[in-house]
Chain A
Amino acid sequence: MASPASALSPTLVLGASLVYLMALFAVAWWADRRAAAGRSVIGNAWVYALSMGVYCTAWTYFGSVGRAASGGVWFLPIYLGPTLAMVLAWLVLRKMVRIARTWRITSIADFIASRYGKSRLLAGLVTLIALVGVVPYVALQLKAVASGFALLTGTPHAGEGGFDTALLIALVLAGFTIAFGTRHLDNTERHEGLVAAIAAESVVKLLAFLAVGAFVTWGLFAGPGELFARAMATPAIARALQPDAAHPFAYDQWFALMLLAMLSVILLPRQFQVMVVENVDERHIRRAAWAFPAYLLLINLFVLPIAFGGLLYFGAETLPGAAGAVPADPETFVLSLPLAAGAPALALVAFVGGLSAATGMVIVEAIAVSTMVCNDLVLPGLLRLKSFAPSGRGGDLTGTLLGIRRAVIVALLLLGWLYFRIAGEAYALVSIGLISFAAVAQFAPALLGGMYWKGGTRNGALAGLVAGAALWTYTLMLPSIAKSGWMDAGFLQHGAFGIALLKPEALFGLVGLDSLSHALFWSLLANAGLYVGVSLLRTPSAQEASQALLFVDIFERTREDRPVFWRGRAQVADLQALTRRFLGAERARRLFEDYARGRGAHGIAADARLVQFVETELAGAIGSASARVMVASVVEEEALDMDDVLRILDEASQLRAYSQALEKATDELRTANEQLKSLDRLKDDFMSSVTHELRTPLTSIRALAELMVDDVEMPAAQRQQFLGIMVAETERLSRLVNQVLDMAKIESGHADWHNTDVDLVALLQQAAQTVQEMLRERGAVLDLQLPPASPPLRADPDRLMQVLLNLLSNAAKFVPSPGGRIVLRLRVDATGATVEVQDNGPGVPEAQRALIFEKFRQGGDADHRPQGTGLGLPISRQIVEHLGGRMELRPDIGQGACFAFTLPWTRSTEPARDRAAAATAGDPK
């Protein structure tokens, strides 16, 4: 018993608790306001990760320390298992989220029922198992708060002093849950305020626990080193970490606990609620996958220090089972240590932390279970009543449904409170938690199997769940009740009906396992075995097969090309009326408007897609099983058989293939179109360049001719000069036209080629002679660097000469005068011949290098633009490429320009490639 001197006044503790709960209301209210203003606070991966912290209940907060005090690290598997589960969160949880989002699934019962053909029976069974597992768990939370309160205030028994803390807390929590958890009927709309409050609670309990841990480790002791050294020096404590021959380490139980916790972290109704239903964005799973395990690590960091510190502080005789007066129960060390050490403020903080752990769990569990109970237990019964019959004139049912849900929340919390009042003293905290875990673990085969295996059937899931639940009851639940002294414990020793093989904790003679591992083994074995076995007895029905496809292959199809397994006749008005009844007139109107907008110009047709849409929307409010029954009642549907399912699937696949093919064809067309456009642009550029080039000499000829027409008395000498210019301009015109024609011929592949064996050395010498006179006029010298002989090359000598003359005359235009020097070089190797024309002119500026081979791009700046048409180089390159060679402008090395072309001895290029090269000749190399 805590010393009265250090006790806090009940008013203070109660006041602090109420202030805390009010703060929680404020957080939730604020978050709801933010959400309404479009600035959601829960659209954040950190908030999502923190909300998962609802896993840590009062059981963690108080129970872990108790377990550590007696068993050392045995509190850990409950948190290592979830960490392993979160490693796979991106694979498993994401799939659950996607499935739940797509089909508007709002509870674990709905998830399982929906997978196996929207079975009401299955939904009801899952709900029942969850309910049985959850009520004691809620009771445990209330008990933790009540006993914490009693400890802090020094009143040994809750309820004394005129009020019942647990009842008060239960009612406040019911109020909170109703206020923030049943605002909308459709549970797929996120509970913004609720999730924000849960995330805040996670922060509070973590900080409070860390504060106590730091206080014990560094306040009461001189750090972890000293604490552990002293603990290890105390045999009673050291035994917890050091298994000996008398107490061997129970590896089987360790494994069972990890497996159990791994499954529970996704199967507990509250975890399913925060992780799947309240998930806003699948990508948040990435952060939560590691942040949630990190949270678990932090909250467990000081469990051992507090446990051992408490044992040392109060004396090791506080170990459970030790005889004599117990100064403090290890499960309350978190409170009793600060209290006894004279830090009542910290004790109050620790109590608030425990309160937050308990309330967070109760709130979320109440939401999750109320949804299940309302949709899967109450509603199916109600819908049988006349006044609820869909054909009836019953109006809007949303109010009724919300009322049911609220009533269920209050009932659940009162049930938890009642359970606590009746059975509160019967169990240790840890065992209630584990019994709940084992109950929800029964969902694993049907749920996980159903996500990855298409062969699972409704009967298989039912058989597995019934067997698992029955064995759980017989091997775990009943023994714990018996051990509490509520029923004759005789069957524990002798087995039911005195049959030794039916001993609940050694079923069929299986001994050597602790009761939890034993129960888990038998229940999961029977569960998974019957699930698989019964499923394999017959092929899945059409309804089961279609749902299996939609679940297992969720990632393989988008909403558009997902098959719709429905056939029949429906009226839009009927579906609208049904939607109005369950979702309210306003929401129904909006839904149908959105749907119509999504369908585009077609408007709303009463087709399979609309039926599926309505059914999915209803599922968000009343669960998929009830939604199925309701929709079926207003439409005329044809039963599908397996062939129909396959046919619909086939059609959907074909549709998908078509749309993919269409997409591909569109892409190809788009590319082709782009190419055509770019070619068209090139042609336009070419045309405008040609006309521009033609206009210049024409203008000059016309101007001179007009002058001569106007001035008949023009002196003969001037007339002669003008005529000379006109002749020269005409020559330039014809040269230009010839070149354009030449270019066109080569590009179109219609040019005449007279290929013979060409002696390159002779050809180069001939070219040199031809330009000799022009060079001499410009005062330039030509340096011929030729090998003595070269093998014959198959080419058109005239065309080749045209290239050479073009390059040489280009060079001659740019060399300085006088002092110009041009080198004409021929190199021969095994693959081909390379001709280089190097000059000592200014070279080609960097900016123009890329453009030099384009049509009408002349080198040189505006001041001394050389004569020429601007077609010489492009034509030369066309010719060289036609001959299978390559022409290039060598990199500038500061000695003028160097043009070079290489011709292979043997032509490897096909004419087709020539034409392709010609088509893109405008592109700079």
Chain B
Amino acid sequence: MTRLPEHLLTQRLLALFAAGWLLWDFPLLRLWLSEATVFGLPLLPVALFGAWALLIVLLARLMEARDEG
């Protein structure tokens, strides 16, 4: 993967930041507050941790893109 141009990287980071707030806060947070379960686990923690892991993976991809390409 080649390193992103700085301005594109900046915009992607800002977009990721916005996505994080959205996933973790009202009103989307309201959706996770249900009695549903995922594989027998309550949805709320699964959703919060899932979004967390997703954010970390995306962030890692953005940050670790080096100019090796």
Interface residues of A (CB under 8 A from B): 72-73, 76-77, 80, 83-84, 86-88, 90-91, 224-225, 228-229, 232, 241-243, 249, 251, 254-255, 258, 286-287, 289-291, 293-294, 297, 300-301, 304
A90-B13, A225-B40 in contact; A301/B49 too (CB < 8 A)? yes
**Taking the nearest CB of chain B, how far is it from the CB of A547, in angstroms?**
25
The distance from the CB of B52 to the nearest CB of chain A, in whole angstroms, is 5
Q: Which residue of A is nearest B51, CB measured?
A: A80
Contact A287 B63, beta carbon cutoff 8 Å: yes
Sort A-B residue pairs by CB-CB distance and give the 7 closest, nearest first.
A290-B60, A225-B40, A251-B26, A286-B63, A290-B59, A87-B17, A84-B20
CB–CB A287/B59 < 8 A: no
Residues in A neighbouring B63, C-beta threshold 8 A: 90, 286-287, 289-290
- CB-based contact A76/B48 at 8 Å: yes
Residues of B within 8 A of A80 (CB): 20, 24, 48, 52
How far apart are the CA atoms of A301 and B60 in the complex, in Å?
19
Given known pairs A88-B17, A287-B63, A289-B63, the reply for A254 and B26 (CB within 8 Å) is yes
A228 touches B17 (CB 8 A): no
Total contacting residues, chain B, CB less than 8 A: 32
Residues of A within 8 A of B60 (CB): 290-291, 294
Cβ A251 vs Cβ B24 within 8 A: no
Closest to A81 in B: B24
Chain B residues, CB < 8 A from A290: 56, 59-60, 63-64
- Determine the chain A residues whose CB is within 8 A of the CB of B17 once the complex forms: 84, 87-88
B40 and A229: CB pair below 8 A?
Answer: yes
Which residues of chain B are near A91, meaning CB under 8 Å? 10, 13-14
Within 8 A of A (CB), among B9-66: 9-10, 13-14, 16-17, 20-21, 24-26, 29-30, 33, 35, 37, 39-42, 44-45, 48-49, 52-53, 55-56, 59-60, 63-64
Chain B residues lying within 8 Å of A249, measured Cβ to Cβ, are 29-30, 33
* Docked-complex contact B55 and A255, CB < 8 angstroms: no
Chain B residues within 8 Å of A228, by CB: 37, 40-42
- Cβ-defined contact, B24 with A258, below 8 A: yes
Interface centre among A73, A232, A249, A300 (most CB of B within 10 A): A73
- Interface of chain A: mostly helix, strand, loop or mixed: helix
Roughly how many angstroms separate A661 CA and B63 CA in the complex, as a whole number? Answer: 34
- How far in angstroms is the closest Cβ of chain B from A3? 32
A88-B52 in contact (CB<8A): no
Q: Bound state CA distance, A249 and B24, in angstroms?
A: 13
Please tell me which one of the listed residues A73, A229, A286, A294 contacts residue B45 in the complex, with CB atoms under 8 A apart.
A73
A225-B39, A293-B59 provided; 18 other pairs, C-beta below 8 A? Answer: A73-B44, A73-B48, A80-B24, A83-B52, A83-B55, A87-B16, A87-B55, A91-B14, A228-B42, A241-B42, A241-B45, A243-B33, A249-B33, A251-B25, A258-B25, A289-B59, A293-B52, A294-B56
Residues of B with Cβ closer than 8 Å to A? 9-10, 13-14, 16-17, 20-21, 24-26, 29-30, 33, 35, 37, 39-42, 44-45, 48-49, 52-53, 55-56, 59-60, 63-64
Contacts of A72 in B (CB 8 A): 44-45
Closest B residue to A304 using CB positions: B45
Which residues of chain B come closer than 8 Å to A294, judged between CB atoms?
Answer: 56, 60
Docked CA distance A236–B37 (Å): 18
Chain B residues closer than 8 Å to A73, beta-carbon distance: 44-45, 48
A297–B56 contact, CB under 8 A? yes
**A84 / chain B contacts, CB cutoff of 8 Å:** 17, 20-21, 24
- Chain A residues within an 8 Å CB radius of B13: 87-88, 90-91
Complexed CA–CA distance, A77 and B56 (Å): 16
Shortest CB distance A222–B (Å): 11
Query: Which residue of B9, B20, B40, B41 has the most chain A CB atoms within 10 A of its CB atom?
Result: B20
Given contacts A80-B48, A228-B40, A251-B26, contact A86 B59 (CB under 8 A): yes
Closest to A248 in B: B33
Task: Judge whether B55 and A293 touch: CB under 8 Å.
Answer: yes
Q: Is B52's CB under 8 angstroms from A255's CB? A: no
User: Could you say which residues of chain B place their CB within 8 Å of the CB of A90?
Assistant: 9, 13, 63
Give the residue of A232, A242, A251, A293 whose beta carbon is less than 8 angstroms from that of B29: A251
Q: Is the CB of B29 within 8 A of A83?
A: no
| B46 nearest in chain A by CB position | A228
Q: CB-CB < 8 A to A254: which residues of B?
A: 25-26, 29
How far does the alpha carbon of A291 sit from the alpha carbon of B29 in the complex, in Å? Answer: 25
How far, in Å, is B45 (CB) from chain A's closest CB? 6
A295: nearest chain-B partner, CB-CB: B56
B9-A83 in contact (CB<8A): no
A303, closest chain B residue (CB) = B45
List 9 contacting pairs A-B, 8 Å CB cutoff, sorted by A.
A84-B20, A84-B24, A90-B9, A224-B40, A228-B42, A249-B29, A249-B33, A286-B64, A301-B49
Q: Is the CB of A255 within 8 A of B26?
A: yes
Smallest Cβ-Cβ distance to A294: which chain B residue: B56
Q: How far, in whole Å, are A300 and B56 apart by their CA atoms in the complex?
A: 14
Residues on B with C-beta less than 8 A from A286 are 63-64
A83 to B29, CA, bound (A): 17
